[in-house]
Amino acid sequence: MSPPQRCAAVVVGAGPAGLAVVGNLLEKQLGKIIWIDPYFQAGRVNRKYREVPSNTKVALFQAFATAVQPFQSVINSSRIPNAFTTMAKLDQEKTCHLHHAADVVRALTEGIVKMDQVYACRGHVTAANLNHTRSWTVRIRGLGSEDEMEVLTSRLILCTGSSPTQAPVPVPEDSVQRLDLDVVLKPSELASTLPQNSPSTVAVVGASHSAILALLNLVDLARNSHPHLRIKWFTRHPLRYAECKDGWILRDNTGLKGRAADFARQQLEDSTLPTSEAGQILTRIDCSGGQEKESAQYQRHLPTCSYLVQAVGYTRDPLPDLSIAGSLITSNDLNWDSSFGGFTDRNGLVIPGLHGAGIAFPERVVDPYGNVEHAVGFFKFMKFLKRVSPQWAT
Ligand SMILES: Cc1cc2nc3c(=O)[nH]c(=O)nc-3n(C[C@H](O)[C@H](O)[C@H](O)COP(=O)(O)OP(=O)(O)OC[C@H]3O[C@@H](n4cnc5c(N)ncnc54)[C@H](O)[C@@H]3O)c2cc1C
Ligand SMILES: NC(=O)c1ccc[n+]([C@@H]2O[C@H](COP(=O)([O-])OP(=O)(O)OC[C@H]3O[C@@H](n4cnc5c(N)ncnc54)[C@H](OP(=O)(O)O)[C@@H]3O)[C@@H](O)[C@H]2O)c1
């Protein structure tokens, strides 16, 4: 292995959050940034969610794409037509399919990786060790080769993303086949995954954005191509919507918006379900009232289902092995603190130079009613980084 080279920052992950981090750090002209990702293709939004309708306005994707000067340089030097001009033509006040947002992130990434201050490395960060001089030695495994390299930096930023959560269910796991939520959120793949001409029932768990879009896709499928498909919807709370208040949004991060909110209001509420199209295909299973009642509902209804899809949130993807002076940092010793965009150990001491952003490390926000949420979204990542990244530069 060649001797490690030194750089100003190492950014792990090239989804929207990693891109936003690189854009913010470039503006600060700190020196060379090493950026690592196996694909450099806009992360999960491009790989998995191109067919998902957005729950944010087009204007917010535009605001993300023009928020930092390096992004503007990429846009200004791109041949027309391009992903930015396509997005600019959409109604800015409406939502759009995420393929538009993914294409903008891909186009920005393509331009950013060509910049002199960026060294883009296709591969995985497998480990990082902090030594007594507050320098991280970051180990990178390149794609398609056994070669590993090490780099030294005082700033390591984790933008490693999250994947759908799988929770245990109180029935034997082999009694029902699990469906990948990512597949259910992709109608073109869902159609070929489920049997077309034999009866099957899909259990959908949850009542947030992912769950409602899963229901919407399954109802569409049953109406259009899979007439024998039925749905059991396991939900433990009423439908919750984002609400515009005076200058702020109640449930901005957890409430239903956009197409999911329209579908839920029109077809899934207790008042509409019995007569809606969805109601002809779907049975609501009330799982409220505590764990015992919830468990009883699963035991009663899940055995009649052929498939199970859980839409119960997202869990951080595995992180590289992190250590300090050779001792592995355990999960107890790695506490995310979005107030400064970094991590503390079990004693509350800051782990020097380690930062995070994106769906895996979102900002904790408190609304005027005192509700706590996590700010997940392209422009929310950008706003957060504008606040905290100046501290990383010092
Ligand atoms: C279904 C869905 C719909 C959404 N819709 C919207 C929306 O409409 N509007 C909005 O603003 N937001 C939306 N979001 C929220 C958010 O913008 C996306 O989740 C976004 O993709 C998160 O970006 P990220 O960069 O944090 O993570 P990701 O997109 O997951 O990117 C992480 C990247 O890190 C790489 N990586 C991981 N580990 C390593 C490693 N060890 N070494 C190197 N690379 C690594 C991965 O390969 C990946 O490329 C949605 C989220 C979901 C789940
Ligand atoms: N573009 C889009 O429309 C779209 C689509 C999907 C996701 N997203 C984004 O992605 C992020 C994640 O959204 P999400 O909808 O997947 O998840 P989420 O907002 O994290 O919500 C998870 C939901 O799962 C429920 N839940 C957790 N554990 C459960 C269990 N064991 N059984 C039943 N329910 C359980 C929670 O209910 P409790 O409150 O009862 O715990 C909560 O409602 C958000 O930022 C969202 O905006 C956007």
Calculate the average pLDDT of the chain. Answer: 96
Q: Which amino acid is at 186?
A: K
Task: Give the pLDDT confidence score for residue 147 in this predicted structure.
Answer: 82
How does pLDDT run across 314-334, given as a tens digit for each residue? 999 999 999 999 999 998 899
User: Distance between CA 283 and CA 274 in Å, rounded?
Assistant: 9
The number of the ligand 2 atom at minimal distance from the alpha carbon of 374 is 45
How does pLDDT run across 280-315, given as a tens digit for each residue? 999 999 999 999 999 999 999 999 999 999 999 999
Task: Give the pLDDT confidence score for residue 82 in this predicted structure.
Answer: 96
How does pLDDT run across 31-84, given as a tens digit for each residue? 999 999 999 999 999 999 999 999 999 999 999 999 999 999 999 999 999 999
Mean pLDDT of 131-147: 88
How does pLDDT run across 157-199, given as a tens digit for each residue? 999 999 999 999 988 888 899 999 999 999 999 999 999 989 9
Q: Is there an atom of ligand 1 within 6 Å of 14 CB?
A: yes
Task: Give the pLDDT confidence score for residue 175 in this predicted structure.
Answer: 85
Helix axes 58-65, 98-112, angle to 10 degrees: 0
Task: Give the pLDDT confidence score for residue 307 in this predicted structure.
Answer: 97
Task: Give the pLDDT confidence score for residue 332 in this predicted structure.
Answer: 86
Mean pLDDT of 146-156: 92
Q: Which residue among 181, 205, 210, 378 is best mutated to probe the pocket of ligand 2, counting the most ligand atoms within 8 A of its Cβ?
A: 210
User: b/e string for 231-253 if b means 16 or more Cβ within 10 A?
Assistant: bbbbbbeebeebeeeeeeebbbb
User: b/e string for 326-335 if b means 16 or more Cβ within 10 A?
Assistant: eeebeeebbe
Q: Is there an atom of ligand 2 within 6 Å of 314 CB?
A: yes
**What are 321's strand-pairing partners?**
127
How does pLDDT run across 207-228, given as a tens digit for each residue? 999 999 999 999 999 999 999 9
**Domain annotation for the chain: domains and CATH numbers:** 5-163+315-393 (3.50.50.60), 166-312 (3.50.50)
User: Distance between CA 181 and CA 290 in Å, rounded?
Assistant: 25
User: Distance between CA 74 and CA 170 in Å, rounded?
Assistant: 51
Task: Give the pLDDT confidence score for residue 58 in this predicted structure.
Answer: 98
Among the bound ligands, the one closest to the CA of 56: 1
User: Distance between CA 360 and CA 45 in Å, rounded?
Assistant: 14
How does pLDDT run across 328-357, given as a tens digit for each residue? 999 889 999 999 999 999 999 999 999 999
Mean pLDDT of 271-280: 97
Contacts of 241 (CB under 8 A, 6+ apart): 251, 255, 256, 257, 261, 264, 265
Task: Give the pLDDT confidence score for residue 158 in this predicted structure.
Answer: 98
The number of the ligand 1 atom at minimal distance from the alpha carbon of 319 is 41
pLDDT at residue 4 is higher than 70:
no
